[in-house]
Amino acid sequence: MSSRSQALTLSSASAWDEVFTGLHGASRIKVPDRHAPWAGRLEWQQSKTYGLALCSGGEEEVDRDTRHIRSDPRGTYELLVPLAGTARVEQGSSSGEIGPGSMVLCDIDRPLTFAHGDDLLSISFMVSGENVAARSPLAATGPHLLGGVRGLGRIIRELTTTLHEEREQLSETGFDMACDRLLDLVCLAAEGAGDTAPTGQRATVEAAIRRYVRRHGCDRDLDVVGIARALGWSVRYVQQVLQAAETTARDLIRRERLDVARTRLVSAGWATYSIAEIAHSCGFGSHASFATAFRAEFGMTPREARQGISRRKS
């Protein structure tokens, strides 16, 4: 696979520091005894867009202050999902303890402190700040402490765990698509929006989808997956936005193709083309399916539409 997967067991605090800061950014790491044996484990998966890392190790306190951020800016957010043990997280005026029943979303380029005992086992989901802000400006204002016991929080926790477990079975495209879905859910939870898509950008997103369909509606393979990938959103998010607008990607594509077909049927530039050829040019798989859809939409057959214009010209 083209995304990078690695697993390391580290036996010294110094080796742990090097790998940990390589993943999460320059920081000052304090441990009770740097000369004592260390049992740290890191397993991570990285693509060009996302990262996912499982971490376990000894007791430590990690401080990332303005000096570290200036020297090693990351432009990333991390969702920390504890699977066992507890951790204390402080960022700005916010602080709290998280465990298997909770999670936290933090901006890595804002000063933070992260401390835990030797029983912590956690997964970090890493994503660019631009990606977070594009989906939800509110989520980008973190930190956000999220519940992980029930509802959307439980789904996020289970998806994060499953994604880590199955990471080596996924292509980079599959990994990124799963991470797209996870990010959408995290943004929903950060907005406290339950199971609905964030409302702040809904009109903007819907307009972008409609523009894309107008430009590419006649592409034969166009579907909701192609729309989502071209615009940088997940399929689920596109579906939610269109559901809120009381339509679907399939309906938008069908209507666009029919509108283009009707225009071509009466256009002098398309007069030498058969109805079947026009149907094919507009993305329809067969003349029969085109004729059925055209009649349902406009109350006449394609032939009647073309002949009606001819009579008006004569």
DSSP H or E segment with residue 258: helix 249-265
DSSP 8-class letter at 193: -
The answer to whether residue 181 sits within a structural domain is no
Sheet-wide strand order for 121-128: 4-10, 40-46, 50-56, 121-128, 76-84, 102-107, 144-147
Q: Is the pLDDT of residue 110 over 50?
A: yes
Domain that holds residue 296: 201-314
Same domain? For 287 and 235 the reply is: yes
Same domain? For 137 and 34 the reply is: yes
Across residues 284-288, what is the average pLDDT?
Answer: 92
The answer to whether residue 184 sits within a structural domain is no
Q: Is the pLDDT of residue 21 over 80?
A: yes
Same domain? For 78 and 205 the reply is: no
The answer to whether residue 194 sits within a structural domain is no
pLDDT (0 to 100) of residue 199: 52
**What is the domain-level CATH number for residue 305?**
1.10.10.60
pLDDT (0 to 100) of residue 200: 52
Q: How many domains does the chain have?
A: 2
Across residues 233-256, what is the average pLDDT?
Answer: 88
pLDDT (0 to 100) of residue 131: 93
Same domain? For 275 and 132 the reply is: no
pTM of the predicted model as reported, rounded to 2 decimal places: 0.61
The answer to whether residue 166 sits within a structural domain is yes
Q: Is the pLDDT of residue 281 over 80?
A: yes
pLDDT tens string 1-17? 345 677 888 888 888 89
Q: Decide which of 142 and 296 is more confident.
A: 296
Same domain? For 291 and 247 the reply is: yes
pLDDT tens string 188-234? 888 764 434 445 567 778 888 999 999 999 999 999 988 887 776 66
**What is the domain-level CATH number for residue 78?**
2.60.120.10
Across residues 38-50, what is the average pLDDT?
Answer: 89
Across residues 62-81, what is the average pLDDT?
Answer: 96
The answer to whether residue 193 sits within a structural domain is no
Across residues 89-109, what is the average pLDDT?
Answer: 88
The answer to whether residue 238 sits within a structural domain is yes
The answer to whether residue 177 sits within a structural domain is no
d(CA 25, CA 19): 10
DSSP 8-class letter at 299: S
Same domain? For 25 and 150 the reply is: yes
Cβ within 8 Å of residue 222, ≥6 positions away: 213, 216, 253, 283
Least confident of 121-125, 196-200, 237-241, 248-252: 196-200
d(CA 112, CA 32): 20
Cβ within 8 Å of residue 161, ≥6 positions away: 81, 83, 123
Same domain? For 9 and 156 the reply is: yes
The answer to whether residue 14 sits within a structural domain is yes
Q: 3-state DSSP call for residue 160?
A: helix
Same domain? For 165 and 18 the reply is: yes
pLDDT (0 to 100) of residue 4: 65
Q: Is the pLDDT of residue 309 over 80?
A: no
Same domain? For 111 and 20 the reply is: yes
Across residues 287-300, what is the average pLDDT?
Answer: 94
Across residues 22-40, what is the average pLDDT?
Answer: 90
The pair of structure tokens assigned to 151 is 């509802």
Same domain? For 138 and 216 the reply is: no
Same domain? For 53 and 92 the reply is: yes
Same domain? For 10 and 152 the reply is: yes
